[in-house]
């Protein structure tokens, strides 16, 4: 089987609603959809970081851009009614674990009720044929065991971010069973591992924190060096979301939950990833914490992606080292004056060129 990839012939002319298009992953996905020829409507908050990939890459110039809070049900419904999407890719969320501890009620409101508002707007718009709602690899009740989590494993979450995303999964399943199956709309959830790549400037994320410190000649403080995660370049899960939508268009029987992550042997510790990053950057000071500080975060996490590989034909294209190197090269080139949009398109060219 040839590895699956997004098909420009499929996406050309499709009306796509993309929520969260102003965020890191959303901006990358908006650029890719535009490259594929889709007619994209973006719905999301104003960019939350300075700088932001959305602004630097000029994403708003080539799509129908709406600044809308998904906690506003009426505003979400108006956009859906006006733009009549055929495919919905729902990425909008409060996406940070530590922010969830600081603002738990807002995190639950955005992640759960925001998703419900999107789904309810789709329930009232019969023209939607496919919807993919992005949650997280952290939706599983984490037992700190060694084996990777499968889509059928128990949902849960210690922190507000993880638990709110697990609750999203219940809302998605309920809307699928109660409404969308009968309406002929295919609804799936996508659970992706930790993403890295150029253009992420969020706080409390490993590579953005490292790049900011090294650009200023400062030492990076590493909180949990031995924590393991399923790291992957941002293009890997985005390709998964696109290929999943293509598959759902052909067969609504594929509606359900899907894991997107690297091969099991590629999961790595924070220490391994930041060491790779320092090598790709060409140096940089590190300070590994001797004691764990801050609120609880999972120590180990891995995803079983056998379902995705077998049924969608998806295989990771870049190794962990390639992914980290690509990300650090992006940051360095952008810092030295390169155009952010061109850097993204260059990475897309390289990813698509892998046989």
Any domain includes 6? no
Any domain includes 188? yes
Any domain includes 156? yes
pLDDT at 241: 98
Q: What is the CATH number of the domain that holds 235?
A: 3.40.50.720
Any domain includes 213? yes
pLDDT at 285: 96
Any domain includes 61? yes
Tokens standing for residue 255: 């509606």
pLDDT at 185: 97
Instruction: Tell me, yes or no, if the pTM score tops 0.85.
Output: yes
Any domain includes 29? yes
State the residue for tokens 């709406």: 66
pLDDT at 4: 85
pLDDT digits 0-9 by tens, 100-113:
999 999 999 999 99
**Residue 251, helix vs strand vs coil:** coil
Q: Are 274 and 220 in contact (CB under 8 A)?
A: yes
pLDDT at 7: 97
Q: Are 224 and 297 in contact (CB under 8 A)?
A: yes
Residue 32 belongs to domain spanning: 12-292+301-353
- Residue 131, beta-bridge partner list: 88, 187
pLDDT at 346: 98
pLDDT at 145: 81
Burial 166-180 (b: 16+ CB within 10 A, else e): bbbbebbbebbeebb
Cis bond before residue 19 (omega within 30° of 0): no
Q: Are strands 228-229 and 268-269 parallel, antiparallel or unpaired?
A: antiparallel
Any domain includes 2? no
**Residue 324, helix vs strand vs coil:** helix
Domain count, the chain: 1
pLDDT at 126: 84
pLDDT at 300: 87
Segment holding 331, helix H or strand E: helix 320-335
Any domain includes 3? no
pLDDT at 297: 77
Low-confidence ranges of the chain (pLDDT < 70): 1-3, 291-293
- 246-252: Cβ within 8 A, 24+ apart: 246/6, 246/7, 246/10, 247/311, 247/312, 248/130, 248/132, 248/186, 248/188, 249/10, 249/87, 249/129, 249/130, 249/186, 251/186, 252/181, 252/184, 252/185, 252/186
């Amino acid at each position: 089987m040839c590895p699956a990839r997004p098909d420009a012939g499929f996406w050309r002319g499709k009306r796509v609603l993309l929520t969260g298009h102003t965020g890191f992953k959303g901006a990358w996905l908006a650029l890719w959809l535009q490259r594929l020829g889709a007619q994209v409507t973006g719905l999301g908050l104003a960019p939350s970081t300075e700088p932001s990939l959305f602004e630097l890459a000029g994403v708003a110039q080539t799509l129908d851009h709406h600044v809308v809070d998904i906690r506003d049900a009426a505003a979400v419904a108006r956009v859906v009614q006006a733009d009549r999407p055929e495919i919905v890719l729902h990425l909008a969320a409060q996406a940070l674990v530590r922010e969830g501890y600081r603002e738990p009620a807002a995190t639950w409101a955005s992640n759960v009720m925001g998703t419900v508002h999107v789904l309810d707007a789709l329930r009232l718009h019969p023209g939607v044929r496919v919807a993919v709602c992005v949650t997280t690899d952290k939706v599983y009740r984490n037992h700190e065991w060694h084996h990777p989590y499968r889509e059928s494993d128990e949902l849960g979450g210690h922190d507000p971010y993880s638990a709110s995303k697990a609750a999203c999964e219940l809302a998605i399943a309920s809307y699928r069973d109660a409404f969308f199956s009968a309406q002929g709309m295919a609804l799936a959830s996508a659970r992706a591992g930790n993403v890295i790549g150029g253009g992420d400037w969020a706080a409390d994320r490993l590579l953005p924190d490292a790049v900011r410190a090294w650009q200023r000649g400062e030492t990076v403080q590493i909180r949990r060096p031995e924590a393991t995660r399923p790291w992957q370049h941002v293009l890997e899960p985005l390709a998964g979301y696109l290929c999943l939508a293509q598959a759902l268009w052909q067969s609504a029987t594929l509606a359900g939950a899907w894991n997107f992550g690297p091969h099991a042997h590629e999961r790595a510790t924070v220490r391994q990833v930041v060491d790779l990053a320092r090598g790709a950057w060409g140096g940089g000071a590190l300070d590994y914490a001797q004691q764990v500080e801050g609120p609880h975060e999972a120590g180990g996490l891995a995803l079983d992606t056998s379902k995705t590989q077998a049924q969608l034909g998806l295989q990771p294209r870049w190794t962990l080292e390639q992914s980290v190197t690509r990300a650090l090269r992006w940051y360095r080139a952008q810092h030295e004056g390169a155009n952010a949009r061109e850097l993204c398109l260059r990475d897309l060219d390289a990813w698509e060129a892998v046989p």
